[in-house]
Structure 1
Amino acid sequence: MLSRTASELYWMARYLERAENIARLMDVTNKLSMMSIRDSNHDLMVPLFLTGTQSLFNETYQQVTMNNLLHFFALDSNNHSSIFSCMQMAWNNAHAVRGSLSSEVWESINASWIEMKQIRRQGVGSAGADSFFDWVKERSHLFRGAMFGTLLRSDALYFIRLGTMLERADSTARLLEAKNQLLDADEDPVREYYRMDTLLRAVSAREAFHSLYKQQLSRETISDLLILRRELPRSLLACVEVITEQLELIGGTAGNLPRRRAHTLHAQLRFSTLAEIQEIGLSQWLNDFLSQTNAIAESIHHTYLEAQ
Structure 2
Amino acid sequence: MLGRTASSLFWMSRNQERALNTSKLLEVAYRTAMVPSSGQDDVDDWRFTLLTAGSAHGYAQKIGEITPRGVMHFMIFDKDNSASVLSCLENARNNARAVRTGITAELWEAINTTYIEFCDVNPLSITQDKLPDFLAWINQRSHLFRGALLNTLLRDDGYFFSQLGHFVERADHTARVLNTQYWVLLPDNDVIGDGSMERGQWTGMLRALSGLRSYRFAYPNAKLKAFNIAEFLILRQEMPRSLAHCYDWIDDTVDDLASFYGTREASLDMASAIWQELRNAEMRDIYQNGLHEFLTDFIGKNNAFTSQLSQDYNFA
**TM-score of the superposition, structure 2-length normalised?**
0.92
Q: Measure, in 1, the Cα distance between the counterparts of 2:100 and 2:14.
A: 17
Q: Measure, in 2, the Cα distance between the counterparts of 1:11 and 1:141.
A: 17
Q: Measure, in 1, the Cα distance between the counterparts of 2:131 and 2:185.
A: 25
SS of the residue 1:305 aligns to: coil
Find the counterpart in structure 2 of residue 28 from structure 1. 28
SS of the residue 1:276 aligns to: helix
Find the counterpart in structure 1 of residue 179 from structure 2. 177
Determine whether 1:244 maps to 2:246. Answer: no
Determine whether 1:10 maps to 2:10. Answer: yes
Q: 2:197 aligns with which of 171, 183, 191?
A: 191
* 1:168 to partner: Cα distance: 0.1
Letter in 2 for 1:16: Q
Q: Is the 8 A contact 2:171 2:241 kept in 1?
A: yes
Q: 1:266 aligns with which of 257, 269, 275?
A: 275
Q: Measure, in 1, the Cα distance between the counterparts of 2:43 and 2:169.
A: 27
Q: 1:143 aligns with which of 118, 122, 145?
A: 145
- In structure 2, the gaps of 5 or more residues are none
Pairing 1:30-179 to 2, within 5 Å after superposition: 30-37=30-37, 38=39, 39-120=41-122, 123-179=125-181
Report % sequence identity. 34
Letter in 2 for 1:249: D
SS of the residue 1:260 aligns to: helix
Letter in 2 for 1:302: Q
SS of the residue 1:162 aligns to: helix
SS of the residue 2:313 aligns to: helix
- In structure 1, the gaps of 5 or more residues are none
Letter in 2 for 1:246: T
* C-alpha distance 5-120 of structure 1, shift in aligned 2 (>3 A): farther
Determine whether 1:202 maps to 2:204. Answer: no
Q: 2:242 aligns with which of 227, 235, 238?
A: 235
Find the counterpart in structure 2 of residue 285 from structure 1. 294
Cα-Cα RMSD: 1.8
SS of the residue 1:146 aligns to: helix
Determine whether 1:275 maps to 2:303. Answer: no
How many aligned positions are there? 307
Q: 1:298 aligns with which of 278, 284, 307?
A: 307
